[in-house]
Structure 1
Amino acid sequence: MCGRFALTATADQTATFLGVGELEEFPARYNIAPTQPILMAVAAPSRPPGSNLPDREALLVRWGLLPAWVKDTRGFPLLFNARSEEAATKPSFRTAMRHRRALVPASGFYEWQQSGPAKGQAYWIRPRHGGLIAFAGLMETWCEPGGSEMDTGALLTTAANPAIAHIHHRMPVVIDEKDFARWLDCRRQEPRDVADLLKSAQPDFFEAVPVSSLVNKVSNMGPEVQNRIEPPGVREAKQKAPSGETPEHKQMSLF
Structure 2
Amino acid sequence: MCGRFVLTMPVDEMARLFDAVPSNDLPPAPNYNICPTTAITTVTSDGGQRRLRAMRWGFLPNWYTSQADGPLLINARAETIADKPAFRSACRTRRCLIPASGFYEWTKGADGARLPWYICRPDGAPLAFAGIWQDWTPNDGGDPLSTCAIVTTAANAAMSAIHHRMPVILTGADWPLWLGEAGTGAARLMRPGPEDALRMTRVGTAVNSNRATGHALIAPLTN
TM-score by length of 1: 0.81
Structure 2 partner of 1:245: none
Q: What is the root-mean-square deviation in Å for CA atoms of aligned residues?
A: 2.0
Q: CA deviation at 1:133?
A: 1.1
- Secondary structure of the corresponding residue to residue 177 of structure 2: helix
- Give the whole-Å Cα distance in 1 for the aligned partners of 2:214 and 2:18: 25
- The structure whose Rg is larger is 1
Matches within 5 A, 1:97-112: 97-112=91-106
Structure 2 partner of 1:194: 186
CA deviation vs aligned residue, 1:178-219 (integer Å, no higher than 9, x gap): 111111117942xxx112100111111110010011111111
- Give the whole-Å Cα distance in 1 for the aligned partners of 2:110 and 2:2: 19
- Give the whole-Å Cα distance in 2 for the aligned partners of 1:118 and 1:61: 34
- Secondary structure of the corresponding residue to residue 68 of structure 2: helix
Q: CA deviation at 1:117?
A: 10
- Secondary structure of the corresponding residue to residue 75 of structure 1: coil
CA deviation vs aligned residue, 1:131-167 (integer Å, no higher than 9, x gap): 1110000101110012221111100001111111110
| Residue 127 of structure 1 pairs with residue 128 of structure 2 | no
| Residue 55 of structure 1 pairs with residue 49 of structure 2 | yes
Choose which of 174, 177, 181 in structure 2 pairs with 1:182: 177
Structure 1 partner of 2:62: 68
- Secondary structure of the corresponding residue to residue 165 of structure 1: helix
Structure 1 partner of 2:145: 150
Q: CA deviation at 1:172?
A: 0.3
| Residue 2 of structure 1 pairs with residue 8 of structure 2 | no
Contact 1:100 1:186 in 2 (8 A): no
Contact 1:114 1:167 in 2 (8 A): no
Structure 2 partner of 1:252: none
Aligned residue pairs, count? 220
- Give the whole-Å Cα distance in 2 for the aligned partners of 1:136 and 1:117: 35
- Give the whole-Å Cα distance in 1 for the aligned partners of 2:23 and 2:13: 10
- Secondary structure of the corresponding residue to residue 158 of structure 1: strand
| Residue 94 of structure 1 pairs with residue 96 of structure 2 | no
Choose which of 158, 161, 170 in structure 2 pairs with 1:166: 161
Q: CA deviation at 1:99?
A: 1.2
> Residue type of the partner of 2:64?
V
Q: CA deviation at 1:102?
A: 0.3
What percent of counterpart residues are identical?
36
Q: CA deviation at 1:72?
A: 4.1
Q: CA deviation at 1:22?
A: 4.4
Contact 2:100 2:126 in 1 (8 A): yes
TM-score by length of 2: 0.92
Structure 2 partner of 1:253: none
- Give the whole-Å Cα distance in 2 for the aligned partners of 1:33 and 1:225: 14
CA deviation vs aligned residue, 1:16-71 (integer Å, no higher than 9, x gap): 11120246583301000000101111112x3xxxxxxx621121011000011223
